[in-house]
Copies of this chain bind each other. A is one copy, B any other.
Amino acid sequence: MAKIDQGPPNYKEMLPPIILENYGKWRYHEIPKPGVLKHVSESGAELYSIRVGSPRLVSLDFIRDLCTLADEYCDGYLRFTARHNVEFLVSDPAKLDPLIAALNAKNLPVGGTGHALSNIVHTQGWVHCHTPATDSSGVVKAIMDDLYEYFVSMKLPAQLKISLACCLNMCGAAHCSDIAIVGVHRTAPKIDNEKIRKGTEIPSLVACCPTGAIRPNPKEKTVVVNEAKCMYCGNCYTMAPGMEIINPDNDGIAILVGGKVANARTNPMFSRMVIPFLPNNPPRWPEVTDAVRGIVKTWSANARKGERLGEWVERIGWEKFFTLTGIPFTDKLIDDFIFSRETFRTSAAFKF
């Protein structure tokens, strides 16, 4: 009989012996080669973690294959990372190269460590959600194919964390990423009064709009949208199926850069918009992959060792970022929401 509220399995049962023995005793780590982490314990024990890229959207056969490998090389233990990579935990150095060989045989990329591009945190897109302005897995596949070299090497100035969200709900939590790929709508919701009338709570629908663009229309028992005030966030559509926000001709992708989360050296930073719109061109989204590659190239050509993308831009100044990348600056990049004032240049000192 099913247990209610038993909670997740106890992590202790999921840890390999070498971790149980050296839990909290790790002393330092090295990165002998891309994708391989070597952690050394006070006890002298050595743990090798092999990081492997995953599409994240996988079949159960993929998981079973991982299990087979883990059984053979890792005594039946493995883990996943905060960025959806797989990590094989090898306690026997002798098994290290054979495992890597096996992974290569399966065309599974080993990398994502140190000054590398890691996996792209992403979302559902057209595969499973109702509000996407773009696909998720397809864009991610296109970008990772294009930037593959940076995953399997460590030749970037610093970590490169790319995230993707297919609508402004931002399930990819892209708001603090080195590079954020965000699906954006660009047209006000088309209102389906029928749908609104059946089962939409008008007051909360009106209240949900960040810019107050929605007014109730009591006579019609529906709402009207002041299109001039609407910036297409789609929050009303999340609330009410009757606020049809999807528009294939005008939906697409915005690119934000320069975010970070770690507190190392500099404070965490938000990603900031540098390209307000690129079209959806499946299956490979060439405009998007070109833009991303261009930014990565400019950053790695100009940044100092260990300098995250946002740290580099803040050092040289955003005005210089646009000069160096050649990305055109437009008024769309200037904030006009609540905290806009804090982004205005209240200084006479700037670069031309």
Contacts and interface: CB of A to CB of B under 8 A. Distances in A.
Interface stretch (A42-50, A305-313, A321-329, A334-342): A334-342
A44 B341 CA distance: 47
A267 interface: yes
Contacts of A107: none
Contact of A339 (B263, B339, B347): B339
Copies of this chain present in the complex amount to 2
Interface residues of A, number: 11
Interface string A338-352: 110110001111000
Nearest to A341: B339
Contact of A348 (B263, B339, B342, B348): B263
13 contacts: A263-B347, A263-B348, A263-B349, A267-B346, A267-B347, A267-B349, A268-B346, A268-B347, A338-B338, A339-B339, A339-B341, A339-B342, A342-B342
Given A268-B346, A339-B342, 11 more contacts: A263-B347, A263-B348, A263-B349, A267-B346, A267-B347, A267-B349, A268-B347, A338-B338, A339-B339, A339-B341, A342-B342
Contacts of A347: 263, 267-268
Interface in A81-112: none
Contacts of A342: 339, 342
Nearest to A265: B349
Interface of A: 263, 267-268, 338-339, 341-342, 346-349
Nearest to A269: B346
A284 to B, nearest CB: 37
Nearest to A267: B347
Contacts of A349: 263, 267
A212 to B, nearest CB: 15
A342 B349 CA distance: 22
Nearest to A348: B263
